Amino acid sequence: MTDLPTLRVEALSADHCAAAERWAQRLGLPLQGDAAFAVQVGAEGLQFVELGDAAPGPVRVDFLEGAVAHRRRFGGGSGQMIAKAVGVGAGIRPSVLDATAGLGRDAFVLATLGCTVSLIERQPLIAALLEDGLARAAGDAEVGSIVARMRLLVGNAIELIGAWQDEAPQVIYLDPMFPHRDKSALVKKEMRLFRPLVGDDMDAPALLQAALALASHRVVVKRPRKAPPIEGAKPGYSLDGKSSRYDIYPLKKLVAVG
């Protein structure tokens, strides 16, 4: 993208100056100077924040507390729509490649249900937040075994899928950034913060095509409920929710193991 906003890395306390320096070097960002956004390093891990008095609060990846933890405990288990979309069922826990990982929430739900999940994130800053969240969760007695089923890959999903050397994932899950045209679609804090960095996934048709060439059993695409399907192959069927839907591209029937 052009005209990217300015960013800097900053430590929230003297104890985290060394870690801030390491992240600045990894991300290729300055440690000082005027900026619209900051990557902050503190006691609660890595976080991303818009600077300014009227800006929303920071965003971090936290698999231990907050909304993600609540969904893990009370989200409905295998009855959730995403579980049905990827084919979770009695004796069926497919291997999943989440090729548009973002902050990892959907991947974590699937890992909680027992799926092994590979995650691809191409935006280095979002990948750093995800890496930090996974590392902090790994040592937790309850959540550590869940994130152990999650493997993070950083890079362009189309390229990584095209060069895939491991066993093909049974399911590839896509949740591309949709080109929003109205303000009401930008209500989530994360969307407002990350859109200047990420933009829209204009290569979604190519990603779908690559996913269909690699997945062994199905491809699942999450879309806003009223949005058209991704250009290209037509989905076999869809599961509709209140604000979003899942377009399913079936390739082979998933069967129970054992």
Q: Report the alpha-carbon distance of residue 18 to residue 21 in Å, rounded.
A: 5
Q: Report the alpha-carbon distance of residue 73 to residue 94 in Å, rounded.
A: 21
The candidate with the shortest Cα–Cα distance to 173, out of 253, 81, 91, 90, is: 81
What value, to the nearest 5°, has the Cα angle with vertex 88 and ends 82 and 93?
A: 125
CATH code for the domain defined by 66-250: 3.40.50.150
Q: What is the mean pLDDT of the chain?
A: 88
pTM of the model: 0.89
Q: Report the alpha-carbon distance of residue 34 to residue 60 in Å, rounded.
A: 22
pLDDT of residue 186: 38
Q: Which residue in the block uniquely carries the two structure tokens 């009227």?
A: 54
Q: Which two tokens stand for residue 79?
A: 């009855």
pLDDT of residue 234: 97
175 is in an annotated binding site: yes
List, for residues 190-211, the tens digit of each pLDDT value.
666 776 666 656 789 999 999 9
Q: pLDDT class for 119, splitting at 50, 70, 90?
A: very high
Q: pLDDT class for 15, splitting at 50, 70, 90?
A: very high
pLDDT of residue 202: 74
Q: Report the alpha-carbon distance of residue 71 to residue 212 in Å, rounded.
A: 29
pLDDT of residue 32: 85
Q: Report the alpha-carbon distance of residue 8 to residue 23 in Å, rounded.
A: 10
pLDDT of residue 55: 78
Q: Domain 7-50: which CATH class?
A: alpha beta
Q: Is the pLDDT of residue 181 over 50?
A: no
Q: Is the pLDDT of residue 139 over 80?
A: yes
Q: Report the alpha-carbon distance of residue 236 to residue 248 in Å, rounded.
A: 6
**Residue ranges of the domains in the chain?**
7-50, 66-250
Q: pLDDT class for 188, splitting at 50, 70, 90?
A: low
Q: Is the pLDDT of residue 70 over 70?
A: no
Q: pLDDT class for 13, splitting at 50, 70, 90?
A: very high
66-250 shares the fold of 7-50: no
